[in-house]
Homo-oligomer: A and B are copies of this chain.
């Protein structure tokens, strides 16, 4: 969805845009080829974009000056292998995948995971990551959107930002790849926690109203930003990313009724993890993926004394509720305390 949405501002900037589906996107590409309608965005993309099946990748890759990669976190290694034959230092890669990986005792961002799969002969390619609040369905409809492109090579970063920056797609840049990527991954976990409030309110018989559990939700929001700064520091990133577009901005936009929010609300209603997951009918729940990564990471980080056991009380409670099926009891008294 996000890869397809990104095609719109690139097209509007006058670029030739070629959209390639993975083997999982067969029906989407067929629909786009025949009518221009993206069935998941529920929207007809503007004319001028060319569409390709994954087996037509070599056609699509001819003379490209930028690869924008829209696969989900699970597809990043696969995508790196597919792109191998074309990978070279001069061809920048822009990534919209969100996630963190825990491997070899380290939290790693997806651009670094992708790099592992690219051929060594391609030189040290530094992918650029996109952060900030961007609902794909809104970007496809040309809603004003502010994003951050983050990368380690200033010249490439500036060039790619200039290619994409346009009338309604406002691109700023950041050298803080760790911070921007960590926020993009974490926001789903924290947005799930904010949605507990809505579920609890409804369970108590409340109606949506200006008097509900907004105090509860806002306290969780502020603590989320507090903890995101801490986790960004753990990764060696800049906490300023957590209080800007990638953190505060993306967390805000994620609280507007997507999958994550619906799942969090179901937990707030008291359904329990199994029933709540069933209600989501197989939808990918990024919040559970990132929580599972952090559940593995926290004990080792504590053992190495990079983290104190009293830190991140909200994150620990989200893990307890969403992975270990504990009842919700938000630990407000442990909020806003530094180690």
Residues of A within 8 A of B (CB): 132-135, 137-139, 141, 143-146, 170, 172, 209-219, 221-223, 225-226, 229, 243-245, 248-250, 252-253, 256-258, 330, 332-333, 335-337
A215 interface neighbour in B210, B212, B215, B253, Cβ under 8 Å = B253
A243 interface neighbour in B144, B146, B243, B258, Cβ under 8 Å = B243
Chain multiplicity (copies): 2
A213 interface neighbour in B143, B215, B226, B332, Cβ under 8 Å = B143
Q: Give the docked Cα–Cα distance between A214 and B134 (Å).
A: 8
Contacts of A219 in B (CB 8 A): 132-133, 144-146, 170, 245, 249
A170 interface neighbour in B138, B221, B253, B333, Cβ under 8 Å = B333
Q: Give the docked Cα–Cα distance between A227 and B135 (Å).
A: 24
Given contacts A133-B215, A218-B133, A252 and B253 within 8 Å (CB-CB): no
Q: Give the docked Cα–Cα distance between A256 and B210 (Å).
A: 6
Q: How far is the CB of A145 from chain B (nearest CB, A)?
A: 4
Contacts of A217 in B (CB 8 A): 252-253
Given contacts A222-B146, A332-B144, A335-B146, A139 and B210 within 8 Å (CB-CB): no
Q: Give the docked Cα–Cα distance between A219 and B249 (Å).
A: 6
* Contact present for A146 and B252 (CB under 8 Å): no
Contacts of A249 in B (CB 8 A): 218-219, 221-222
Q: How far is the CB of A58 from chain B (nearest CB, A)?
A: 34
* Contact present for B336 and A213 (CB under 8 Å): no
Q: Give the docked Cα–Cα distance between A248 and B143 (Å).
A: 24
Q: How far is the CB of A92 from chain B (nearest CB, A)?
A: 22
* Contact present for B335 and A222 (CB under 8 Å): no
* Contact present for A213 and B245 (CB under 8 Å): no
* Contact present for A146 and B332 (CB under 8 Å): yes
Contacts of A245 in B (CB 8 A): 219, 222, 336
Q: Give the docked Cα–Cα distance between A258 and B212 (Å).
A: 12
Q: How far is the CB of A222 from chain B (nearest CB, A)?
A: 3
* Contact present for B143 and A221 (CB under 8 Å): no
Q: Give the docked Cα–Cα distance between A214 and B221 (Å).
A: 17
* Contact present for A211 and B138 (CB under 8 Å): yes
**Could you list 24 A-B pairs, sorted by A, with CB under 8 Å?**
A132-B222, A133-B219, A135-B210, A135-B215, A138-B211, A144-B216, A144-B219, A145-B216, A146-B215, A146-B223, A172-B335, A217-B253, A218-B249, A218-B252, A219-B249, A221-B248, A221-B249, A222-B252, A225-B248, A226-B244, A229-B243, A244-B336, A245-B336, A252-B252
Nearest CB in chain B to that of A172: its residue: B336
Q: How far is the CB of A286 from chain B (nearest CB, A)?
A: 15
Which A-B residue pairs are the 6 nearest by beta carbons?
Answer: A133-B218, A222-B249, A146-B219, A210-B257, A218-B253, A137-B211
Q: How far is the CB of A124 from chain B (nearest CB, A)?
A: 29
Q: Which of A137, A139, A256 has its CB near the most chain B CB atoms (within 10 A)?
A: A256
Q: Give the docked Cα–Cα distance between A257 and B139 (Å).
A: 25
Q: Which of A172, A226, A252 has its CB near the most chain B CB atoms (within 10 A)?
A: A252
Q: How far is the CB of A179 from chain B (nearest CB, A)?
A: 14
Q: How far is the CB of A333 from chain B (nearest CB, A)?
A: 6
Contacts of A144 in B (CB 8 A): 213, 215-216, 219, 330, 332
